[in-house]
Structure 1
Amino acid sequence: MGYQALYRVWRPQVFEDVVGQGHVTKTLQNALLQKKITHAYLFTGPRGTGKTSAAKILAKAVNCPNRGDSAEPCNECELCKSITVGSNPDVIEIDAASNNGVEEIRDIREKVKYAPNVSSFKVYIIDEVHMLSIGAFNALLKTLEEPPKHVIFILATTEPHKIPLTIISRCQRYDFKRIPHQAIAARMKYIIDEYGINYEEEALQMIARASEGGMRDALSLLDQTISFGQDGITVNDALVITGSVSQNILNDIAKAILEKNPQVALESLHTLLAEGKDPVRIVEDFIQFYRDLLLYKNSPSMQDYLERVIVNSEFEQLCDQYELKHVYEIIDRFNKTQQEMKWTNHPRILLEVCFVQLCQNDFTSNQTDSNEKVHVLEQKITSLEEQLQQLKVNGIQVSKQQEEVKSSIHSRTSKKGFRAPAGKIENILANATKQNLQLIKGNWGSILEKLKRSHAALLNDAEPVAASEQGCVVKFKYEIHCQMAMNNHEFVNMMNNLLHQTFRNAMEFIGVPEEQWLELRESFINQHRDLVKDKNQSKPIGDPLIEEAKKLFSDELIEIRD
């Protein structure tokens, strides 16, 4: 027979050999001892964690004639051997990925009613059962719920969420977990010792972490590493096979980031890239490295939970130099870079930029500088406290006066509310003409159309009442609308610009509530009754300065030029 892969040679043959799944194997062993074997099982979990192996061991255990009071198959009788090699006609393994149609399931339904040929139970092991079609699942339902007493179904899948709930509810479910890398490393040591091969402890740890909790993947990588190496299993061999980054290089780059030395960081990065390392894998290794650093810095006793790092003196020194907030920032930056790599054709450039940015951040903690800053802050606080105390002693009367002024201002403003600028309005009235007012009213509709809806809404109950070359007075029916409009600087600026576009002259928009407008208008007319001209002649209202001049001099000596 030709060479067999390690994961086939060392496939578990008893429940005790199934690594890292004690919660499953213990339950199955107790069920065998208590003779409580059910008719349907569902094994779920990641790849390479022992689902199919456990199914075959269970098939051997229920059929082994030599088991007696043990929960393990003997693996010596003809039945156990035939199930191991796959020649037993009563243990049927079906790959649902290639036999996922209704016809295959109907064939099973027709054959389950026949008694086993040589065994006590007929066992159907359906691997990757989630690949069955909807019709096949429906065909399997009734048989799975009430099969003959001599039939056991064992369904195995890596994606249980794709299986209908009607199928899951008819099975006993066992969830296989990812195997801890310590357990994987221990199993590989046992296998290597059987072959008498030399190995380095760190190399096995590296292979175990690269397998991501799958024993089959770990044994495949181990097989490759043994074939690659000549004098045993070394760290360098494991690095080449797994594509991982050496911890020494990780320490060097982490130290370069800490010391703000981008040259060393980039040189180490280019060395890794020249060795054929994948940039995405490099980022992943650094995320795991800083995750372990964060975990070890918070709780040094949790070394068994470290996934990427082997604790040594250099790593402990790095942990002392890094601060937690800086580790959070670095992990976040690497995580963003990893996400960005999915959408770029130049992952190497993104990784280089990430390293340079990390080296530009200040991750060093200078205790002396911190003490000096604290001392300066303490002096400033003391000085401020002294000034505050002095103000409390000398400023009591001032504060009382300020409160009185504030209360009086508040009372006046609360009584009067919004007050329009009377001086500006009187100046506009003094130079107002009917022609300017008609021009404003004629263009008022177009002005409103150019405003935003929110701005135009402020002018719903407003109308222009006076206009001169310098400004325009708009009367608002309600005081609150006038106040909202005049306090809106954007609205006022927009109105000034539109008036300028209409008259080709800089004009100021002034709003006034209706009640105040009537008071101001009446007051202005009373003060300038004899100066008001006929509005129909479009002549300006008399200037107070000119009238004073007429009183001092006769009309014959005064010449008025526009």
Structure 2
Amino acid sequence: MDNFIVSARKYRPATFDTVVGQQHITVTLKNAIKNNQLAQAFLFCGPRGVGKTTCARILAKTINCGHLSDDTEACGECDSCKSFQNGNSFSIHELDAASNNSVDDIRNLIDQVRIPPQTGKYKIYIIDEVHMLSQAAFNAFLKTLEEPPSYAIFILATTEKHKILPTILSRCQIFDFNRIKVADMANHLASIAAKEGVSYDADGLHVIAQKADGGLRDALSMFDQIVSFSNKQVTYQAVIDNLNILDYDYYFRLTDAVIGEDSPAALLILDEILSRGFDGSHFIGGLGSHFRDLLVAKEPSTLKLLDTSDTIRQRYLQQSQQVSSGLLLSALNIANQCEINYRTSKNQRLQVELALLKMCHIASAIQLAKNGAASVAVEKKKPSESVTPTNGAPTNGTPVNGMVQAATAPVQAVPAPASAVASTVHSAPVADPQPPVTDRSSPDSQKKRSWGAVKLSNVIPDLNTIFDDKQAAAQTDEPELLTGDEREPFSHDELLKHWHAFADKLKAENKINLFTLMTANPPQLLPDFQVGVVVENPIQLDLLNASKIDILNELRFKLRNFAVDLIPKHVVNDSTRKPYTAQEKYQAMAAKNPALDTLRKAFNLGLE
């Protein structure tokens, strides 16, 4: 017991070649020593447990070694190397800035720097956790760090580079240490296990490496813990039991349930996981990572992104061939949304269960959308079978398809104004409407017609996320201008009659600005069925252009003349006439400050 040394210390690298996963730094340092191009200050920064302090010690030992090897490594046999290994070197000093962070500590360090080395060529100062120095200590250290004696070299190490003053950073050569890759870490653990006589599974070592999150020291600490727990038998089961990690098998079984649309099995697997004490948020996050790994495994070029052992990688390859990319993307989206809503939910388990139920019904929803699109295509080929019910929404005599009827999806009648009679809804899975057939000989020929659209996303409301983008596209369709061949003449009185009737309708809909524009000045009947509309300012001109299609559709339908067009007529306001009504006052203020109209629209404000 007294002689036990933890693996992180016992197997700490002693040469550059034994450093794990930081070749870009060790090669640079070796070349700098070989070419005698050493800087006066180095800054090693990176996450914890990746080898910053270890590389600083190796660099310090190698610089003062009296017999460097051909590959620029310390010999370990000279007096300088032996004194460093025994911890009694007078040329290499380590300072913990976390506990020695005052100005006095730095001043004592500066006083020591003035004394030349007694043995060796350089005096090396290793300052660990340098970001812990106070502001005053940094300022006291600046001058010495910029112009140290020729024999002094400073090696600073930190995990939080952003806390160091820029004036300090500019005086150092900065080396950024990477997180150590899972494969490199697993290989290093395997070599230590072989030296210690510990039996191991490659899957278990990979789980330790993944849990360490790039820090080798953390991986070695977990390795020692599991060796003690398992009596020197590091198996996959021992690792997941000791580290409280969810087994890969749960995620593979759950994915099989999603593929087979077996929602009871998915709920039972979740109950088994929760009964073992795992948190629902941890589970749903791991499930999302599992779906991501399955997507990665579907392409040979991205297979290298899987940080798993060969055995687990083969399982990913096998399962990825059984599921489509579309289902995985939809399930990944559902898992991500569940993870976002989990912490704010009062019933967190229900959130996870609901997400699993959605995943199990993704395939049905996709098939339902395909069937609905096919049914719509068939119905579009049979316009003669379309009938008009009493509510003005023509539908077919039969349901869109059996699945829609079974799910009791409502057929929504979407009433459309005259401005939208000719518009269609371009969104799948939404049934494209049939244009109304106008029969001039019938007494109902002048009545507007509207039609409904069956939204397949309403069949399963819980899966609306699959169709959100398509529904949003349908809601942003612009109204289309009515076109036709009729050119019936009309008088100015008829124009005024329908013009003011439409204006009164706008007033009832609280569209005061457009109502004011249409009633402030009477329209002018111009040749070729053109209607001149008086606009007094740019605000009115923009309003007329935005509402032009609605006005034209109304007039063309009422006047039975599809050649009617609106022509803006610019006039100069009479500066002597003051605005009287609220509408006129608003128009005058909006003309001076267009931002006022933007404010009114943003908050949906009225003038009354």
TM class by shorter chain equals 0.5 to 0.7
What is the CA distance between 1:349 and its match in structure 2?
Answer: 4.4
The amino acid across from 2:303 in the alignment is: Q
- Separation of aligned partners in 2, 1:102 and 1:29: 34
- 1:420 and 2:421 aligned: no
Indicate the structure (1 or 2) with the bigger Cα radius of gyration: 1
Greater displacement, 307-316 / 90-99: 307-316
Please give the residue correspondences for 1:53-452 in structure 2 after superposition, counting only pairs within 5 Å: 53-67=54-68, 69-230=70-231, 232-297=233-298, 299-308=299-308, 310-311=311-312, 314-343=315-344, 347-362=348-363, 405-406=485-486, 408=487, 419-420=496-497
Contact 1:243–1:278 under 8 Å retained in 2: no
- Distance verdict in 2 for CA 1:249–1:370, change over 3 Å: same
- Separation of aligned partners in 2, 1:39 and 1:275: 56
Greater displacement, 214-223 / 323-332: 323-332
The amino acid across from 2:133 in the alignment is: L
**Which residue number corresponds to residue 41 of structure 2?**
40
- Distance verdict in 2 for CA 1:307–1:348, change over 3 Å: farther
The amino acid across from 2:33 in the alignment is: L
What is the CA distance between 1:405 and its match in structure 2?
Answer: 4.2
- Separation of aligned partners in 2, 1:158 and 1:345: 38
- Separation of aligned partners in 1, 2:275 and 2:25: 45
- 2:4 is paired with a residue of what secondary structure? coil
What is the CA distance between 1:312 and its match in structure 2?
Answer: 5.5
Contact 2:42–2:174 under 8 Å retained in 1: yes
- Distance verdict in 2 for CA 1:66–1:328, change over 3 Å: same
> May I ask how many residue pairs the two structures share in their alignment?
431
**Which residue number corresponds to residue 26 of structure 2?**
25
Deviations 1:122-163 (A, max 9, x none): 111112222222222222211111111111111111222222
Contact 1:337–1:354 under 8 Å retained in 2: yes
The amino acid across from 1:169 in the alignment is: S
What is the CA distance between 1:455 and its match in structure 2?
Answer: 8.4
- Distance verdict in 2 for CA 1:377–1:360, change over 3 Å: closer
- Separation of aligned partners in 1, 2:66 and 2:114: 23
Deviations 1:350-398 (A, max 9, x none): 33332233223327987xx9999998788789889xxxxxxxxxxxxxx
What is the CA distance between 1:418 and its match in structure 2?
Answer: 5.2
Contact 1:90–1:123 under 8 Å retained in 2: yes
Contact 1:5–1:220 under 8 Å retained in 2: yes
Contact 2:259–2:323 under 8 Å retained in 1: yes
Greater displacement, 249-258 / 107-116: 107-116
Please give the residue correspondences for 1:473-488 in structure 2 after superposition, counting only pairs within 5 Å: none
Deviations 1:276-297 (A, max 9, x none): 3343332332222222111111
Greater displacement, 20-29 / 70-79: 70-79
Greater displacement, 30-39 / 157-166: 157-166
What is the CA distance between 1:81 and its match in structure 2?
Answer: 3.6
Contact 1:326–1:363 under 8 Å retained in 2: no
- Separation of aligned partners in 1, 2:349 and 2:152: 57
What is the CA distance between 1:65 and its match in structure 2?
Answer: 1.6
What is the CA distance between 1:244 and its match in structure 2?
Answer: 2.2
- Separation of aligned partners in 1, 2:93 and 2:494: 92
The amino acid across from 2:300 in the alignment is: P
What is the CA distance between 1:48 and its match in structure 2?
Answer: 1.1
Alpha-carbon RMSD: 4.2
* Gaps in structure 2 of 5+ consecutive residues: 384-481, 502-506, 522-532, 548-608
- 1:24 is paired with a residue of what secondary structure? helix
- 2:363 is paired with a residue of what secondary structure? coil
- Distance verdict in 2 for CA 1:178–1:87, change over 3 Å: same
- Separation of aligned partners in 2, 1:277 and 1:251: 17
- 1:65 is paired with a residue of what secondary structure? coil
- Separation of aligned partners in 2, 1:343 and 1:150: 60
- Separation of aligned partners in 2, 1:293 and 1:7: 34
- Separation of aligned partners in 2, 1:364 and 1:84: 68
The amino acid across from 2:88 in the alignment is: S
- 1:321 is paired with a residue of what secondary structure? coil
What is the CA distance between 1:207 and its match in structure 2?
Answer: 1.0
- Distance verdict in 2 for CA 1:371–1:350, change over 3 Å: closer
What is the CA distance between 1:190 and its match in structure 2?
Answer: 0.6
* Gaps in structure 1 of 5+ consecutive residues: 385-401, 425-447, 463-477, 489-562
- 1:203 is paired with a residue of what secondary structure? helix
- Distance verdict in 2 for CA 1:333–1:96, change over 3 Å: farther
Greater displacement, 166-175 / 20-29: 166-175
- 2:496 is paired with a residue of what secondary structure? coil
What is the CA distance between 1:116 and its match in structure 2?
Answer: 2.1
Greater displacement, 268-277 / 122-131: 268-277
**Which residue number corresponds to residue 526 of structure 2?**
none
The structure with more helix, counted as a fraction of residues: 1
Deviations 1:319-362 (A, max 9, x none): 12222122222222222333334445765443333223322332
Identity fraction in percent: 33
Contact 1:96–1:129 under 8 Å retained in 2: yes
**Which residue number corresponds to residue 11 of structure 1?**
12
- Distance verdict in 2 for CA 1:44–1:86, change over 3 Å: same
What is the CA distance between 1:457 and its match in structure 2?
Answer: 6.6
- Distance verdict in 2 for CA 1:360–1:98, change over 3 Å: farther
Contact 1:180–1:213 under 8 Å retained in 2: yes
- Distance verdict in 2 for CA 1:183–1:423, change over 3 Å: closer
**Which residue number corresponds to residue 554 of structure 2?**
none
- Distance verdict in 2 for CA 1:348–1:308, change over 3 Å: farther
Contact 2:65–2:81 under 8 Å retained in 1: yes
Please give the residue correspondences for 1:508-527 in structure 2 after superposition, counting only pairs within 5 Å: none
- Separation of aligned partners in 1, 2:284 and 2:308: 13
What is the CA distance between 1:106 and its match in structure 2?
Answer: 2.1
The amino acid across from 1:419 in the alignment is: L
- Distance verdict in 2 for CA 1:337–1:422, change over 3 Å: closer
- 1:327 is paired with a residue of what secondary structure? helix
- Distance verdict in 2 for CA 1:265–1:83, change over 3 Å: farther
The amino acid across from 1:420 in the alignment is: K
- Distance verdict in 2 for CA 1:329–1:379, change over 3 Å: closer
Contact 2:47–2:159 under 8 Å retained in 1: yes
- Separation of aligned partners in 2, 1:148 and 1:338: 56
- Separation of aligned partners in 1, 2:381 and 2:497: 48
Contact 1:181–1:208 under 8 Å retained in 2: yes
- Separation of aligned partners in 1, 2:282 and 2:520: 69
Contact 2:306–2:313 under 8 Å retained in 1: no
- 1:173 is paired with a residue of what secondary structure? strand
- Distance verdict in 2 for CA 1:454–1:106, change over 3 Å: farther
What is the CA distance between 1:403 and its match in structure 2?
Answer: 7.9
What is the CA distance between 1:63 and its match in structure 2?
Answer: 1.1
- Distance verdict in 2 for CA 1:373–1:274, change over 3 Å: closer
What is the CA distance between 1:265 and its match in structure 2?
Answer: 1.9
- Separation of aligned partners in 2, 1:343 and 1:239: 29
- Distance verdict in 2 for CA 1:419–1:229, change over 3 Å: same
The amino acid across from 2:60 in the alignment is: A
Deviations 1:37-64 (A, max 9, x none): 1110111112111111000000000111
- Separation of aligned partners in 2, 1:210 and 1:152: 36
